[in-house]
Amino acid sequence: MAVSVHAQEPIHWDVVDQIMDEAFENSELMENASWLVDVFAPRNTKSPGYIAAAEWAAESLRSYGLSNARLEPYEFGVGYVNEYVSIHMMSPQYMPIIAYPATWSSGTDGKIQGPAVFMNFDEIVTEADLEPYRGQLNNAVIFTSPMRQLPPLYEAPATRYSTEQLNEMAEIPIGPQAARAERIHPREGKIPQQQVVEFVYDQGAAVLVRTDGRNDFGTVAVENTRYTLDNRLWDLNAPLRPAELVMATEHYNRVLRILEKDIPVEIEVDLRVTFNDENLNDYNVVAEIPGTDLAHEIVVFGAHLQSNPAGGGASDNAAGVVACMEVARIFKKLGLAPRRTVRIGLWGGHEMGVFGNKSHVANNFADPDTREYKEDYDNLSAYFNLDQGNGRIRGVPIQGNERLRAIFTEWMKPLRNIGMNHLFATGMEHEAYEDVGLPSFYFVQDRMDTRQYHSNMDAYDRLVAEDLMANTVILATFVYHAAMRDERLPRFVPAPW
């Protein structure tokens, strides 16, 4: 029975108590995380690991008793798989090198061995700056940026938000806000970077190398290749994708220090990748718990299943996926009967531009390109998103909608003892829903260790089980209350067209 201290906003204390008991006493979070991170990773879009993970997740949701668990196709483009990578310094001394191909990088033409050449792309201003390298780059491994300084780390890389920090974040800003400084394009006044890339490959270079620009201790964050004509690397007819490696900073710096002594360095590289263009579809995983008297209305919650290919994608974002799956399991285990239909979505194509979620929104709610509203546009109550990693949820933004403050304040009351205490005036809105004027919410979470994100060290061992359990309770509480209230959550953003 719902007990209320606020006549218009009941709190389902008894249900939250049951959710907590199940989440903390019978959790399946970490076992599910091991399947995603240990067995199926990497889960890059359309890769064998991603497809296996999607099929496993759909089958798991069916086994919990959800309805219509399915792989939902959407058009994406060419898939990419890193099949094999091996990099070694062969002289003046031998050293195995930590490095990974940038996503959608091409491979090498078999195993190659060539000279390391430092060619600072930022200092290539005119065509004349290219001339000293003409005829010098056959099979060369091009180090494209200067050494990075690595200051000692005196503070813990993982921290919790303090109460004071959260209070400051929750303050409503008053008065004019500081304007963002205008960013100058890094190659303004210089020849285009692509001209530099085309030159080095015309001269026979084998591979480009850089660091990720932020990590050390052998951690490498891997993003899409930077040295290309087109950012849409997955398009069927995308132009040249160079062979590009992202190298651990310590190994990168060692090579450059040797070169500074005028000692040649020989690098061996064997990089094998495949591009899948047989089927241009990628897939979301979607399932429902049908509603009762308000079944035509919908509450959606989800997280992205796709991950960057260097590591296991534990914090980014198996942490969100397993919490969402656990919410679905708990709803069915407890026999909860939400008034609205509750839909879980595990999304593909996230790191390339939120493709999976945007496709779901366009097909079910509104298409921002055609400006076509769909039947369920007025039936969506809210979308709740988990994509801030491994840390515990500490609050949620009301997106400037003060009508939500009283509602969310009530919902948080059973959650204060697990750290959910704050509302923020503004915050991240999910792009796919924001684009069409629908309410969506990212939870604010502790940032545990930013070295994990997109990196080779985003591993199962970095997950914090207690935080994932607490996040499950918080997400389940918000989804359940949104599904049970008499009215949909109030919207404040007018329809965009």
Tens of pLDDT, residue by residue over 173-185, are: 766 665 665 666 5
Which amino acid, one-letter code, is at 336? L
Please give the structure tokens belonging to residue 300: 């959606």
pTM here is 0.92
pLDDT of residue 3: 43
pLDDT of residue 4: 42
Last residue of a domain, one of 274, 309, 328: 274
Last residue of a domain, one of 274, 305, 326: 274
Q: Is residue 168 part of a domain?
A: no
Closest CA to 222 of 390, 101, 88, 79: 101
Q: Is residue 245 part of a domain?
A: yes
Q: Is residue 314 part of a domain?
A: yes
pLDDT of residue 225: 79
**pLDDT tens, residue by residue, 19-34:** 999 999 999 999 999 9
**pLDDT tens, residue by residue, 338-370:** 999 999 999 999 888 899 999 999 999 999 999
Q: Is 227 found in the same domain as 370?
A: no
Q: Is 221 found in the same domain as 318?
A: no
**pLDDT tens, residue by residue, 84-128:** 999 999 999 999 999 999 998 999 989 999 999 999 999 999 999
Q: Is residue 174 part of a domain?
A: no
Least confident of 211-215, 377-381, 430-434: 430-434
**pLDDT tens, residue by residue, 276-325:** 888 899 999 999 999 999 999 999 999 999 998 888 999 999 999 999 99
Q: Is residue 333 part of a domain?
A: yes
- 293, with CB counted inside 10 A (0-12, 13-18, 19+), is exposed
Please give the structure tokens belonging to residue 210: 């850089």
User: How far is residue 475's CA from residue 344's CA, in Å, rounded to a whole number?
Assistant: 12
pLDDT of residue 171: 80
Q: Is 341 found in the same domain as 469?
A: yes
Q: Is 18 found in the same domain as 132?
A: no
**pLDDT tens, residue by residue, 440-482:** 999 999 887 777 778 899 999 999 999 999 999 999 999 999 9
**Residue 384: helix, strand or coil by DSSP?**
strand
Q: Is the pLDDT of residue 12 over 90?
A: yes
Q: Is residue 438 part of a domain?
A: yes
Q: Is 134 found in the same domain as 50?
A: no
pLDDT of residue 429: 75
Closest CA to 381 of 441, 328, 445, 442: 441
pLDDT of residue 6: 44
> Given the DSSP bridges, would you call strands 393-397 and 444-445 parallel, antiparallel or unpaired?
antiparallel
User: How far is residue 348's CA from residue 363's CA, in Å, rounded to a whole number?
Assistant: 15
**pLDDT tens, residue by residue, 74-83:** 999 998 999 9
Q: Is 253 found in the same domain as 118?
A: yes
Per-residue pLDDT averaged across 40-61, rounded? 95
Please give the structure tokens belonging to residue 208: 């480009």
Q: Is 72 found in the same domain as 110?
A: no
User: How far is residue 285's CA from residue 55's CA, in Å, rounded to a whole number?
Assistant: 8
Q: Is 419 found in the same domain as 285?
A: yes
List the CATH number of the domain containing 464: 3.40.630.10
Q: Model confidence at 2, in pLDDT bands (50, 70, 90)? A: very low
User: How far is residue 438's CA from residue 326's CA, in Å, rounded to a whole number?
Assistant: 25
Q: Which residues pair with 490 in a beta bridge?
A: none
Q: Which structural domain range is residue 144 located in?
A: 84-149+183-274
Q: Is 457 found in the same domain as 384?
A: yes
The answer for residues whose C-beta is within 8 angstroms of residue 52's C-beta and 6 or more apart is 39, 40
Closest CA to 85 of 220, 211, 245, 319: 245
pLDDT, mean over the chain: 91
Domain count, the chain: 2
Q: Is 290 found in the same domain as 268?
A: no
Q: Is residue 164 part of a domain?
A: no
List the CATH number of the domain containing 247: 3.50.30.30
User: How far is residue 226's CA from residue 235's CA, in Å, rounded to a whole number?
Assistant: 16
User: How far is residue 50's CA from residue 348's CA, in Å, rounded to a whole number?
Assistant: 8
pLDDT above 70 covers a percentage of the chain that reads: 94
Q: Model confidence at 5, in pLDDT bands (50, 70, 90)? A: very low
Q: Is residue 159 part of a domain?
A: no
Within 10 A of 200 (CB to CB), how many other CB atoms are there?
24
Q: Is 110 found in the same domain as 65?
A: no
Last residue of a domain, one of 240, 274, 308: 274
Residue listed under structure tokens 């515990």: 392
Q: Is 18 found in the same domain as 94?
A: no
